[in-house]
Amino acid sequence: MQVKVLGRVDYLPTYQAMAAFTEGRGADTPDELWLCEHPPVFTQGLAGKADHVLAAGEIPVIATNRGGQVTYHGPGQVVAYPLIDLQRAGYFVKEYVYRLEEAVLRTLGGFGVTGHRVRGAPGIYVRTEDPFGHARLLPSPQPSPAGGRGSDAESLPLPLAGEGGGEGAPDPFSGLAKIAALGIKVTRHRTYHGLALNVAMDLQPFERINPCGYAGLRTVDLSTIGVSTTWNEAAALLGHKLQALLAP
């Protein structure tokens, strides 16, 4: 895999370049990993709803063809775009997502931080009160589609903002904050878009949206939870973990 550190680049031309690379690649085109950061921008996924953007203000909102809902990109965030031929790599989309999340978990581990998955809500989360603790998340029951309670929090998708299980439903994000977001596109077994890890950024723009469609979901970065590092250091570590985990 060829790793390209792009530095700070505008979102739209980078998005267009990813799409063009994916469309034009052949069976022998080497996979690439692009590492970058973007000027402030909100991006909407295919499932994005306009009302999840609460107050964009001066920050542009760009519609994309990735999965997921609205998120924010800005300086101090490491954005990774793996351009992978999954058919050649020998694994499927579900495994690909798992490997992306695992790379973030191992990157956080390199800084002593324990990350967590929440089933039905792609991305990586940390405990706000104990980001360095190793206790596992306890499963909590989620509202079932029929209005009852599911027996396993990890067997049902979580409701989006405005689509919850009603008053009294458990909060799957209680005590958690999101530190990394995922949003991917796969076309003809080839991936683009990717993930974003918050390192040391202005988090206020996340308050202008329902992050990933969840009202009130808190967002943090490494700096907020007490980790002092640079963008270059975090990008290098994340890139190394992605190279290793995305290999065939």
Would you please indicate which residues are annotated as catalytic (active-site) residues?
A: 212
Structure token pair of residue 197: 């890890």
Determine the residue type at 6: L
Contacts of 124 (CB under 8 A, 6+ apart): 101, 104, 105, 108, 115, 116, 117, 178, 179, 180
Which burial class, exposed, middle or buried, applies to 27 when counting CB atoms under 10 A from its CB (0-12, 13-18, 19+)? exposed
Measured CA to CA, the distance from residue 108 to residue 90 in angstroms comes to 26
Structure token pair of residue 16: 């267009």
